[in-house]
Amino acid sequence: MDLYPGKLAIQQRVLTPYRAVFFDALAQVCNGGLSVFAGLPRPEESIATTQALQVAGYRFARNLHLLHGPFYLCFQGGLLHWLADCDPDALIVEANPRYLSTPAAMQWMKRRGRPVLGWGLGAPLITGPCSNLRKARRYSFLRSFDALITYSRRGADEYTALGFPSGRIFVAPNAATLRPASPLPLRSPTFDRKPCVLFVGRLQARKRIDTLLQACASLGEDLHPRLVIIGDGPERPALENLAETIYPSAEFPGARHGEELAPYFSTADLFVLPGTGGLAVQEAMTYGLPVIMGQGDGTNDDLVRPANGWQLTGTETLVDVLQEALSDASRLRRMGAESYRIVSEEINLERMVGVFVEALNKIH
């Protein structure tokens, strides 16, 4: 893998455990080191955070959260002091104009002739109150970057549509796992038992696990799968009560992590996430599982494709997709093999690190 010869600094609003793994991997290929600046979310966001970086450095940001909804803003205290202390050769910031302290950090770098890269989802359509003002602010903000790194081809297209030069846009698919270390698990080309449908994640409303229970209950008796719902969270009591009423065979083993998950992924036939989020999707794919998931912000467009799964678009119901998926075991196996290939060759932490290094070296 190529190296970045300089010292890198990265600003984040918050530091999540899965992102910490990425930053440590990126730090290993930055000859001058890597420092991360991040703070805490609002309590009601229920975002897991960490300060446990093993290779990269960390500086705590004093996040001040202002307003809500489309008018949400965040100011990160201590940002310029951090920059002065680590004195980076390049800076990567979240490409989000809602962060009020970021422009000052960008100016600090520009005065020293050093590049600043933006890292973001893309530029989806802005609607609602003051939309024209918000569009103009975002356009002006994005134009000030030396390059943009985005999670998906959709994000790159949105940045290009705004007039940002395509040659300075880099697509680094949002990876949460390393390349699979083990070979593709072998599964029978037929169902020699009830097919197993698996969900792994925090049990919260936005994951729409209630629709998964309802969809399984709506399938014909001959297609009723073994349904395993792994995780904990605020929705667990309500989901268990719903399952008792409409799908009493559903299993709720509770939260499982790391190696505890291996037996569940290995014995499953299909991974389903009806809602948004879901870092476990990539882990499921390393075990050769096809995926059904809700359509979100574009970060999973390149991950879940017709060859390895389904993204629910609203024109088809989850029960219809489940019926299609569980009716053909051999097709599921082919789709699972494609899932494994995608995370082995295209979307993994190693590839994500490589794109970041490519972007840094091209604009340095």
User: What digits encode the pLDDT tens for the residues 188-225?
Assistant: 999 989 999 999 998 999 899 999 999 999 998 899 99
Place 39 in a pLDDT band, splitting at 50, 70 and 90.
very high
According to the model, what pLDDT value does residue 315 have?
Answer: 63
According to the model, what pLDDT value does residue 316 have?
Answer: 72
DSSP H or E run through 34: strand 34-39
> CATH classification of 196-345, choosing from 3.10.270.10, 3.30.420.40, 3.40.50.2000, 1.25.40.390?
3.40.50.2000
Structure tokens at 68: 């809500």
Task: Let me know: does 152 contact 298? Beta carbons within 8 Å.
Answer: yes
Phi, psi of 344 (to 5 degrees): -80, -40
Same CATH topology for 8-175+348-363 and 196-345: the answer is yes
Q: Is the pLDDT of residue 325 over 70?
A: yes
Rounded (5°) CA angle 163-172-204: 105
Residue position matching structure tokens 């190693």:
350
Mean pLDDT (the chain, rounded): 94
Give me the mean pLDDT over the 5-14 stretch.
98
Q: Is the pLDDT of residue 46 over 80?
A: no
Rounded (5°) CA angle 85-65-106: 40
> CATH classification of 8-175+348-363, choosing from 3.20.20.70, 3.40.50.2000, 3.30.470.10, 3.30.390.30?
3.40.50.2000
Over residues 268-289, the pLDDT tens digits come to: 999 999 988 778 999 999 999 9
Domain definitions of the chain by residue range:
8-175+348-363, 196-345
Place 48 in a pLDDT band, splitting at 50, 70 and 90.
confident
